Amino acid sequence: MGGMPMSPAENIHKRLRGGFRISHGRTGLYNSRMALPATKTAAMYVLKRLRAAGHESLFAGGCVRDMLLGRSSYDYDVATSATPQQVRQLFPHVLLVGAQFGVAMVIHRRRKVEVTTFRTDESYSDGRRPDGVRHATAREDAQRRDFTINAMFYDPLAEEVIDYVGGREDLDRGVVRTVGEPQQRFAEDYLRMLRAVRFAVRLGFRIDPSTEDGIRRNAANITAVSGERILDELWRMLSEPSAAEALRRMAELGLAEHILSELFDTGAWEQAIRRVEHVANRRDATLALAALLAELPPGDISAIIRRWGASNDLKHSARWMAEHLQDWRRADDMPLRELKPLMAGEHFDRLKRLWRFEEREATGGVAGCRRIARRANAIPPESVSPPALVTGADLMEMGLKPGPRMGRILRRIHDAQLDEQIATRDEAMDLARQLIHEAG
């Protein structure tokens, strides 16, 4: 949708790309900004070339899970015995995105194929990344991954699933379970607690009881995770029709009260979930986030968005919808000079969806919102945000000096234009002269 703020995930990835070391291939410096997620075709090309060079290579992670579930996968990753340096020697365009952790990104025909060296991880002192890694076998690599359903490999040439951790059985049972001891997996990266919720809700799975217990015992530690990474996970949840269910599961497991404490402190949590449920089918994360935060004071919304490291655009969007949340009560009779600026806002369609929820909650129906929609539809688009008929330069020619007085007069004239009390430049100039005279 034109004008929408960049999603937090896109923002994060854009910043990360700015920090990539880019290899100089045979055709020189490669601009990675236009590269897209890997298709199966691109990943197969990388896998076959690694195999031809004598390296073990397999599809890994989410693409294997989705394949076994009969779901479309939008990104394919490759795991290999080759080191990032060896990968770099085989392909002309390689981004060393995390060579110290065994990760390289191969660019093939504008597709990014993440290639990860089989590894085991040392301790996680920062609760996010291992302090060090060592090269390992595929079996050992599977043991360091987060959940069993994400820890399987697939050999597309032999058409064979390679499962060292019981992931296929958990898929059949519809269970999200950590690989190994939950306490250890979560201590390595507490964001995995949110990921467990996202996978369970998205796939319609339950969370294994021991994994659930591990989340509850560690829920307070979610605040150790950076706000950007938390919002990245939330954004994925809020982009799905199951957004409200995911938020409820977060609350049941004790995560939500630490991530969104303001909603619990103000008693707004349950109503916020109902509001999200009302809009979730739109698959619009900006709208769902605004619905979630809509009852909070503007200062609290700003504090949350800052805590998450999100853009000013997102902050302004959420605040604008919150500030106008109850305008449905008067929009039917609102002066045009107030209604038209609302209509000109890029989030007016989103705001109307929130109004429908608010009116239904208050009255049991949406008759008022229907009248507002009819009124708005009757206003010609060209008159919603028309160019000013009179400018500051015009007023200066009449002898008025720049300052607060000029600003007030310009606003009065523009309000009259929006209220359709004047329609031509001559009428606007007459009104300007009258207002200047009245002001002395």
Angle between helix axes 227-238 and 8-18 (nearest 10 degrees) is 140
Give the number of other Cβ atoms within 10 Å of residue 36's Cβ.
Answer: 13
Q: Which of 161, 132, 156 is nearest to 144 (CA)?
A: 132
Three-point CA angle 111, 115, 119, nearest 5°: 165
Domain range list for the chain: 35-173, 180-310, 327-383, 392-438
Looking at residue 49, its pLDDT comes to 98
Question: How far is Cα 293 from Cα 360, in angstroms, rounded to an integer?
Answer: 19
Rg of the chain over all Cα atoms, to the nearest angstrom:
28
Burial status of residue 440 (CB atoms within 10 A of its CB: 0-12, 13-18, 19 or more): exposed
Crossing angle for the helix pair 227-238 and 285-293, nearest 10 degrees?
110
d(CA 270, CA 221): 23
Instruction: Tell me if the domain spanning 180-310 has CATH number 1.10.3090.10.
Output: yes
The pLDDT profile of the chain, 440 residues, written as one tens digit per residue, is 333 444 433 443 343 333 333 333 333 344 555 678 889 999 999 999 999 999 999 999 999 999 999 999 989 999 999 999 999 999 999 999 888 889 999 999 999 999 999 998 655 555 555 555 678 999 999 999 999 999 999 999 999 999 999 999 999 999 999 999 999 999 999 999 999 999 999 999 999 999 999 999 999 999 999 999 999 999 999 999 999 999 999 999 999 999 999 999 999 999 999 999 999 999 999 999 999 999 999 999 999 999 999 999 999 999 999 999 999 999 989 999 999 999 999 999 999 999 999 999 999 999 999 999 999 999 999 999 999 999 999 999 999 999 999 999 999 999 999 999 999 999 999 999 999 988 76
> What CATH number matches the domain at 35-173, 3.30.460.10, 3.40.50.300, 3.30.1330.50, 3.20.20.70?
3.30.460.10
pTM of the entire predicted model: 0.85
Tell me the C-alpha distance between 285 and 289, whole Å.
6
Type of residue found at 56: E
CA angle 344, 347, 351 (to 5 degrees): 105
Whether 96 and 21 have beta carbons less than 8 Å apart is answered as: yes
Q: What is the pLDDT of residue 282?
A: 97
Count the helix, strand and coil residues of the chain and give each as a percent rounded to the nearest 5. 55, 10, 30
